[in-house]
Amino acid sequence: MTTMSLSKMFTRDEYDERSLPRRVFGGIGTLFFYAFLLLCAFLSVFPFIWSAILSTRTRSEIFSSELSLQLGNALFENYESLIDTLPFWNSMFNSIYVSGLGTVVSILFCSMGGYAFAVYQFRGKGAIFGTMVASMMVPPILGLIPYYMIIQYLGLLNTRLALWLPFTATPFAIFLVRQYVIASIPRELIESARIDGAGEFSIYFRIALPLMKPVLGTVAIVQFVFFWNNFLAPLIVTSSQDMYVVTLALRTVQGLPNTPWGAVMLGTTISIMPIVTFYLFASRQMIAGLTSGAVKG
Amino acid sequence: MSRSPSLGAIANVKNPQRKQRRSFNQISAKLAPYGFLTPFIVLFFVFSVFGFVFSLYLSFHQWNPVAGMASMRFVGFENYTFSLGEPDFYKSLYNTIWLGLASGLSQHLVAIPMAYLLVSLGSKFRHFMTSAFFLPFITSTVAVSLIFVNMYSANVGIINKAIVALVNLPVINWFMDWVNAFMPLRWLEDRTLIKPAIAILQFWKFVGFHLVIYISGILTLSKEVEEAAILDGANWRQRFWHVALPHLRPFIFFGVTLTIIGSLQMFEEPFIITNGTGGIGNSGLTISMFLYKVAWEWLDMGWASAMSWLLFLIIAAVTAVQFFVFGKKGLGEH
């Protein structure tokens, strides 16, 4: 017993990490546990698979009482019905336009704001920063009616501008950038650039901005997902079909009699594709980005 | 040529052009932060600061946006008292709290033990599982709600079909046969089923998010603490209750706060699931949906503003209670 080293004792008997399910559920139980986990994972992604399957089926196949996961071969008919019922690609374009522009401008505005809070001392800094942090606790629903009325007052109802510009200087993202700049851009670097005679904007643009890439990636993910999935803002400020983003366009099919489910599911599947495709390649970054407020905060 | 470099430097400083440039740089360094913050300040003051003040002002007025600014009329606290006397307000409050409790509690009760078990499974498998659970969180609520509307459909939805297939399996059929009497379940047209239908959707959508938070929480637990507990002879049950759970306390506090704030404002899921109506007998109507109805269907912006402030007060009160009951201790330890 004395010859057995402590670490060996852990790795061999007690502290084998993988044996936890075995200890909790027993030998055969562990098998069931893994099966159960895989079932949960399957249920988690199933609705997306199901929506893709339905988008290939004919109406009668969708309405049959059989339980099967078979693909139909009505994909093309459903596509035709989709572009007949909805200005689908026009809404996709609006979504891409709003999300793309919104994300790019967010990166610019939030990096500028976060950089200013991190690097400079200036009159009113404490008050502005404090108000910003306090506003992060205010529930967004409180801003909904004023948002609508200001948009109306500015004559921006039913424009794409109203869907992206107001959301580009997010306190949360500015806060993230500030934290990042404080932690990882040395002040000496900025000072020495200043001594070399570089202007303030070029210090930000040429020196700081490239160093902010990691946090700006997070900002881009958070903002793009927000813009792409946004529904409430488009719902209240856009009224004509040619300005609809894809979430809003899909929702209008609910009002139709005899919902063409094949077409709707095809539209739904296409509409989630951009984000899901990106997720397949960069799931770690997306998970880290979208939980960044929670995990680091 | 004979000048020493130091003299040259002095001469240079005295050069008026250079001095001017320097003071220009100093001024620009003073103004630069305001320049960088201009977009934020403009947007923030227009949409947030002014917006909140205006919404407060509006909540004491009666106003129909279609009739123009001149039709605004001061009504005092009438909008507030009217909300508090409105049965639909309480109904939507009840529905919102019901949904928040049902889906919120189950999310955390599942995510915490699941995270504890997944941490012990090795990072590859764990990442595979978390990626699957997180997928619903990143996709648009409208898209997934539409898929669920189809899946909940009484006669052709896959959920009912799966239930029927399951209860009619050979062995299960012996004791689950009674379920058949209730089929098909009218998820979307039954006032007792609409809330569970929304709660299931929400659970499915958000459990992965909390799972990720709890996993990263457990991963911050140091190996030494875990090993010390093992040395002291603690079994896995004791280690879960007395080591992992207390360690997770600030994470639970944070996650629960997010759930409270989020679910009290719940809008999109019930809106799509009930097709914007609130469901039969308003049994799926949430406060945010009611607010939307008042503002954009009944065009009473003053009343809707008052309601948004009531909702704000409710959220603040619940969060404060949660903080004092649960948070202080949990946050104090870290």
Q: Are residues B145 and B89 in the same domain?
A: yes
Does the distance separating the beta carbons of B29 and A147 come in below 8 Å?
no
Cα Dmax for chain B: 110
Exposed/middle/buried for residue B66 (C-beta within 10 Å: 0-12, 13-18, 19+): exposed
Q: Are residues B192 and B149 in the same domain?
A: yes
Q: Are residues B23 and B93 in the same domain?
A: no
Q: Which of B127, B148, B295 sits opposite A145 (nearest CB)?
A: B295
Does the distance separating the beta carbons of B32 and A201 come in below 8 Å?
yes
Measured distance between the N- and C-terminal CA atoms of chain A, rounded to whole angstroms: 45
Q: Distance (Å, rounded) from C-alpha B254 to C-alpha B261?
A: 11
> How is residue A202 written in tokens?
């070029």
Mean pLDDT rounded to a whole number for chain B: 84
DSSP state string for B287-315? HHHHHHHHHHTS--HHHHHHHHHHHHHHH
Does the distance separating the beta carbons of B32 and A146 come in below 8 Å?
no
Which residues, numbered 42 to 61 in chain A, qualify as contacts with chain B under a Cβ-Cβ cut-off of 8 Å?
Answer: 42-45, 47-48, 50-51, 54
In chain A, ranges of CATH 1.10.3720.10 domains? 86-255
- Judge whether B86 lies within some domain: yes
Q: What is the pLDDT of residue B327?
A: 60
Q: Distance (Å, rounded) from C-alpha B65 to C-alpha A152?
A: 9
CATH number of B242's domain: 1.10.3720.10
Regions in chain B scoring below 50 on pLDDT? 1-14, 332-334
Which residues, numbered 190 to 249 in chain A, qualify as contacts with chain B under a Cβ-Cβ cut-off of 8 Å?
Answer: 194, 197, 199-201, 204, 225, 228-229, 231-232, 236, 247-248
Q: Distance (Å, rounded) from C-alpha B86 to C-alpha B60?
A: 17
- Judge whether B62 lies within some domain: no
Q: Which of B158, B236, B301 sits opposite A50 (nearest CB)?
A: B158
Asked if B58 and B305 count as a contact pair (C-beta separation under 8 A), the reply is yes
Q: What is the pLDDT of residue A10?
A: 42
Q: Distance (Å, rounded) from C-alpha B186 to C-alpha B167?
A: 17
Secondary structure of chain A in the HEC alphabet?
Answer: CCCCCHHHHHHHHHCCHHHHHHHHHCHHHHHHHHHHHHHHHHHHHHHHHHHHHHCCCCHHHHCCCCCCCCCCCCHHHHHHHHHHHCCHHHHHHHHHHHHHHHHHHHHHHHHHHHHHHHHCCCCCHHHHHHHHHHHCCCCHHHHHHHHHHHHHHCCCCCCCHHHHHHHCCCHHHHHHHHHHHHHHCCHHHHHHHHHCCCCHHHHHHHHHHHHCHHHHHHHHHHHHHHHHHCCHHHHHHCCCHHHCCHHHHHHHHHHCCCCCHHHHHHHHHHHHHHHHHHHHHHHHHHHHHHCHHHHHC
Q: Does A26 touch chain B (CB under 8 A)?
A: no
* Shortest CA distance from B152: residue in chain A: A47
Look-up: residue for tokens 């012996």? Answer: B174
B47-50, long-range: CB < 8 A, 24+ apart: B47/A143, B47/A146, B47/A147, B47/A150, B47/A166, B48/A135, B48/A138, B48/A143, B49/A131, B49/A135, B50/A146, B50/A150
Q: Are residues B87 and B38 in the same domain?
A: no
Does the distance separating the beta carbons of B39 and A144 come in below 8 Å?
no
Q: Which of B146, B161, B304 sits opposite A268 (nearest CB)?
A: B146
Q: Distance (Å, rounded) from C-alpha B182 to C-alpha B192?
A: 13
The domain tally of chain B equals 2
Q: Are residues B88 and B34 in the same domain?
A: no
Q: Are residues B41 and B115 in the same domain?
A: no
Asked if B268 and B145 count as a contact pair (C-beta separation under 8 A), the reply is yes
The pLDDT tens digits along chain A (297 residues) read 333 344 444 443 444 555 677 777 777 778 888 889 999 999 999 999 999 999 998 888 887 777 778 888 888 998 999 998 889 999 999 999 999 999 999 999 999 999 999 999 999 999 999 999 988 888 888 889 999 989 988 999 999 999 999 999 999 999 999 999 999 999 899 989 988 888 889 999 999 999 999 999 999 999 999 999 999 999 999 998 899 999 999 998 887 778 888 999 999 999 999 999 999 998 888 998 888 866 544
Q: How far is CA B108 from the centre of its chain?
A: 13
Q: Are residues B13 and B138 in the same domain?
A: no
Q: What is the pLDDT of residues A99-140, one digit of tens each?
A: 999 999 999 999 999 999 999 999 999 999 999 998 888 888
Interface test with A, best of B138, B158, B248 (most A CBs within 10 A): B138
Contact residues, chain B, for A279 at CB < 8 Å: 131, 135, 138
DSSP state string for B195-219? HHHHHHHHHHHHHHHHHHHHHHHHH
Q: Are residues B206 and B287 in the same domain?
A: yes
- Judge whether B103 lies within some domain: yes
Q: What is the pLDDT of residue B17?
A: 54
Distance from CA of B314 to the nearest CA of A (A): 11
- According to DSSP, the residues that pair with B62 across neighbouring strands are B73
Q: What is the DSSP letter of B48?
A: I
- Judge whether B163 lies within some domain: no
> How is residue A64 written in tokens?
């049959």
> How is residue B257 written in tokens?
């706060």
Which of A146, A161, A150 lies closest to A234, judged by CA? A161
Q: What is the pLDDT of residue B18?
A: 53
Contact residues, chain B, for A23 at CB < 8 Å: 235-236
Look-up: residue for tokens 């799926």? Answer: B284
Identify the architecture of domain A86-255 in CATH: Orthogonal Bundle (1.10)
Q: Are residues B256 and B117 in the same domain?
A: yes
- Judge whether B179 lies within some domain: no
Radius of gyration of chain B (CA): 29
What range defines the domain where residue B25 resides? Answer: 5-45
Q: What is the pLDDT of residues B191-233, one digit of tens each?
A: 889 999 999 999 999 999 999 999 999 888 877 887 888 888 7
Q: Which of A19, A200, A268 sits opposite B143 (nearest CB)?
A: A268
Q: Are residues B35 and B90 in the same domain?
A: no
Distance from CA of A253 to the nearest CA of B (A): 10
Q: Are residues B225 and B328 in the same domain?
A: yes
CA dihedral A66, A71, A76, A78 (to 10 degrees): 40
What is the ipTM for the molecules in this complex?
A: 0.88
Give the three-state DSSP class for B125: helix
- Judge whether B158 lies within some domain: no
Q: How far is CA B286 from the centre of its chain?
A: 15
Q: How many helices (H) and strands (E) does chain B have?
A: 17, 2
Q: Are residues B204 and B251 in the same domain?
A: yes
